[in-house]
Structure 1
Amino acid sequence: MGFQQGLSGLAAASKQLDVVGNNVANANTVGFKGSRAEFADLYAASLYGVSSAQAGIGTKTSAVAQQFTQGNITNTGNPLDMAVFGNGFFTVQRPGTNELVYTRNGQFKLDNQGFIVNNGYQLTGYTPDAPGVIKPLQVDAGSIGAKATTAIKLATNVTATATVPTVAFPGAVATAPDPKSYNHSTSVTVYDSLGTSHLVTMYYVKTTNPGEWQVYTRFDSNTMAAATPTTLTFDANGRLAGPVAPIAINVGTLPNGAAIGPDADLDGYPDNTLTVDVNGTTQFASAFAVNNLVTDGYTDGVLTGLVTTKEGKVQAKFSNGQVKDVGQIVLTNFRNPQGLAPQGDNIWTSTPEAGDAQVNTPGAGAVGVIQSAAVEDSNIDLTTELVNMITAQRFYQANAQTIKTQDQILQTLINLR
């Protein structure tokens, strides 16, 4: 009888419509991975095996297979949104437990405790204080303290065609020197331990000796000591004739009680002495210019935002221009992703069928990279799904027709006299 075949076909068609409907319903779900219904035939076996003349007895749904193809990447402008381009899943911790689960949904945000979360699931990775240990990433720095400047590296170009100033550079004075007493000057902003800014001013004075310059320094409005200049001597190629020892600036006691400079005596406080490394300074005919400037201090700052690199480093940005590493995101890949168990909320859990979890930083091993300020769209193609829906509908109608035809045949047999 054809009833059994028709009924099995109706069940299979209904399951296919369920799968198609779920795919269509999640066409706009970020990180969603579509599924497809897979079928197998049913065959009756006799005591002596399957006869070549035996007809099949229907079909069954053998599996609903997940399809982990890449979805389109859409830019969002939200710095905490992340998309995985390539293989791998974000590793997140289930709320209230230590269980690690997996997702492709990168719509992250900060909760009230500073954890990076998605629907309550906490994003995990390596933290600066525990490298190699997977734990939830937390932004606990609402501000960053000031750091006293310890050293300055300043390389300039002094003009080779400059003439000796007509006014002698002054002796110990508390006011700025006469501009006619030096050839060039530049200022560098430095910071003390409280984040207060100060100015270190460098004055370059051409001497009567060929290729020779004297450098004077001044800290804020402190008295200048003309007796302690640093001499720079240049060779015929415009380079320093030899290494120059760093210029030491003893700033004395700061009015605000702060300190500046390195902690050479290791007492926990800066020693109020700055150094300026002028190696790299040149003497060419071009105009005076600052070619290289590096300082290591900064004022205090507040958190202004977060950024994520394609390698998965989450960094906090502060108003003083400083960047601090919050953590390193990890991605988890599986030998058989189709073996993962979907749990809803765009979450999968590992199973023995999926294989062992392979944890890597983005771009390493077999995992992809991260694109920040973007999300991965659902991999559903609506056109294909609508065609599949039509096919499943016709499949259902055809199986219903076989049942109807079988019923007509039975009715004919019953009516025989």
Structure 2
Amino acid sequence: MTISSSLNAGVSGLTANATRLATISDNIANSSTYGYRRAETEFNAMVMSNGGRSYTAGGVTSSNIRLIDQKGSLVTTDNATDLAVRGRGMLPVVSASQFAATNEPELLLTSTGSFRLDENGYLANESGYYLMGWPANLDGSIPSYPRDTTDGLEPVQFSLSLTADPTTSVQMSLNLPATQTVEGSSGDPYNLSVEYFDNLGVSQSMALTFTPTVPAAGGGQSNEWTMTITDSAQGGALIGEYVIEFDGTRANGGQILNVTTVTGGAYDSVTGIAIVDVLGGPIEFDIGAVGEKSGLSQLSDRFAPISIAKDGSQVGNMVSVEVDANGYVSAMYDTGVSQVLYQVPLADLPNPNGMIPMDNQTFKPSPESGAYFLWNAGDGPTGDIKSYAREESTTDVAHELTSMIQTQRAYSSNAKVIQTVDEMLQETTNIKR
């Protein structure tokens, strides 16, 4: 009967508008919630089979969607580890309670967070979620990790105690005077000290002595030097001796031609590295490869140390944490040294709106969202990471209030339909009397 279908349509209208009001109230309640993604209710008509002169009302159904792909505006803060994603992509996080219970991170995603060090050194936000990243090697480089699983991802954690970073490699660029290998020169050695840090963070030094080979009368020019290395931690013990011959030709003049190892680790002519053993362990000493212009050279008449680069640092207290646009997480120490410890990737999905909304503005990948892929921030389709920033809610309060008024009127109208149907049914009942 068509009058009954009118009643059903009115009831479905009440239900649908009540659902819309629920999403509107949720949006307004979270208008100041950082990282909130507004929800939206859509109406869809139900059509019944109609024939002849009568019409049967089908009513309306509602469906809800969380617009996760919408972005809120960024606001500036004064905390270096307040993070927001500028562009596409989301930050990987894990619930602290879930990680403590299982020790296996269950990937959740968020677009922003105010992260600070907790009592255990984890970078956590106020809702109890740890920021996750890939741990770096000792030299600050990031190993190759899988991009479609959480393998390798772990909560970002810092040591709250004193830390020491021993020196494992030294790279030297230095010029030796060619005039000192000529017949009749003085043959005086040149000395250089290279600082390094041992396993306990104590400053030690390697003493380098470069002695030219002076040819006998009639010998012309030797283009040869003997380099010796001693270790202060071993009381000045000899840890390396190398005879270095330089090229004297027009095409490659001044470049290393050959290196003969007398004592110490063998010299690699391809990499230019000789491994010497100080008291705390081996150190890769890079003096330059054969035929390369970097490293040691022999030109002109000047002894010129150009640069000495080494890793490692002395013992220091961590004073701050920084996250750059590409997701590299660095610890800053009171010694003035900074060290990259993690890289935070950005996750991208084919259908972000298909993710499952969770508490505290986090989202869980699902079959509807498609498989995630972890990008380096700023690569591929992803944007970069903005520190000192938070992302605001995507709620537009003025728009929501307008929708609320429309919903209220629609609800009242559907209630009026039900009231009218009830009166008509009452009139039908009164016919029998």
Output the TM-score relative to the length of structure 2. 0.63
- CA deviation after TM superposition for structure 1 residue 112, in Å: 1.9
Matched letter for residue 384 of structure 1: H
Query: Pairwise mapping of residues 91-170 of structure 1 onto structure 2 (< 5 A)?
Result: 91-93=93-95, 95-96=97-98, 97-98=101-102, 100-107=106-113, 108-118=115-125, 119-127=127-135, 131-132=145-146, 133-142=151-160, 143-148=162-167, 151=170, 153-155=172-174
Aligned to 1:358: 372
RMSD: 5.3
Aligned to 1:348, the other structure's residue is in SS state strand
> How many angstroms apart in 2 are the aligned matches of 1:364 and 1:381?
29
Bigger shift: 123-132 or 371-380?
Answer: 123-132
Task: Give the share of equivalent positions with the same residue, in percent.
Answer: 21
Distance change >3 Å, CA 67–CA 21, structure 1 → 2: same
Query: Pairwise mapping of residues 25-64 of structure 1 onto structure 2 (< 5 A)?
Result: 25-45=29-49, 53-60=54-61, 62-64=62-64
> How many angstroms apart in 2 are the aligned matches of 1:361 and 1:35?
27
Aligned to 1:315: 330
**1:380 paired to 2:382:** no
Deviation digits for residues 269-288 of structure 1, max 9, x if unmatched? 359x9979494558689x99
- CA deviation after TM superposition for structure 1 residue 19, in Å: 1.0
Distance change >3 Å, CA 400–CA 220, structure 1 → 2: same
Distance change >3 Å, CA 215–CA 233, structure 1 → 2: farther
> How many angstroms apart in 2 are the aligned matches of 1:235 and 1:11?
91
Distance change >3 Å, CA 409–CA 297, structure 1 → 2: closer
Matched letter for residue 69 of structure 1: D
Aligned to 1:269: 280
> How many angstroms apart in 2 are the aligned matches of 1:339 and 1:149?
48
Aligned to 2:66: 66
Aligned to 1:18: 22
Aligned to 2:272: none
Aligned to 1:300: 315
- CA deviation after TM superposition for structure 1 residue 34, in Å: 1.0
Aligned to 1:263, the other structure's residue is in SS state strand
Aligned to 1:21, the other structure's residue is in SS state helix
Q: Is the 8 A contact 2:211 2:226 kept in 1?
A: yes
> How many angstroms apart in 1 are the aligned matches of 2:47 and 2:257?
91
Aligned to 1:325: 341
> How many angstroms apart in 2 are the aligned matches of 1:280 and 1:219?
18
Query: Pairwise mapping of residues 149-298 of structure 1 onto structure 2 (< 5 A)?
Result: 151=170, 153-155=172-174, 189-191=195-197, 194=200, 195-196=202-203, 240=254, 262-263=276-277, 269=280, 277=287, 279=295, 291-298=306-313
Deviation digits for residues 46-78 of structure 1, max 9, x if unmatched? xxx656751424323x31111123422334343
> How many angstroms apart in 1 are the aligned matches of 2:53 and 2:376?
55
> How many angstroms apart in 1 are the aligned matches of 2:327 and 2:284?
37
Deviation digits for residues 148-193 of structure 1, max 9, x if unmatched? 57645133698x9xxxxxxx9999xxxxxxxxxx9xx998655455
Matched letter for residue 90 of structure 1: P
Q: Is the 8 A contact 1:148 1:297 kept in 2?
A: yes
Q: Is the 8 A contact 2:276 2:285 kept in 1?
A: no
- CA deviation after TM superposition for structure 1 residue 356, in Å: 4.8
Aligned to 1:29, the other structure's residue is in SS state coil
Question: Where in structure 1 are there 5+ consecutive unaligned residues?
Answer: 161-167, 172-181, 224-229, 251-260
Distance change >3 Å, CA 80–CA 247, structure 1 → 2: farther
Aligned to 1:256: none
Output the TM-score relative to the length of structure 1. 0.65
Q: Is the 8 A contact 2:121 2:157 kept in 1?
A: yes
Deviation digits for residues 336-373 of structure 1, max 9, x if unmatched? 43333323222333444x25532423359976244141
Distance change >3 Å, CA 246–CA 31, structure 1 → 2: farther
Distance change >3 Å, CA 274–CA 391, structure 1 → 2: closer
> How many angstroms apart in 1 are the aligned matches of 2:304 and 2:188?
24
Matched letter for residue 76 of structure 1: T
> How many angstroms apart in 2 are the aligned matches of 1:413 and 1:125?
71
Distance change >3 Å, CA 24–CA 310, structure 1 → 2: same
Q: Is the 8 A contact 2:40 2:67 kept in 1?
A: yes
Aligned to 2:241: none
Q: Is the 8 A contact 2:357 2:363 kept in 1?
A: yes
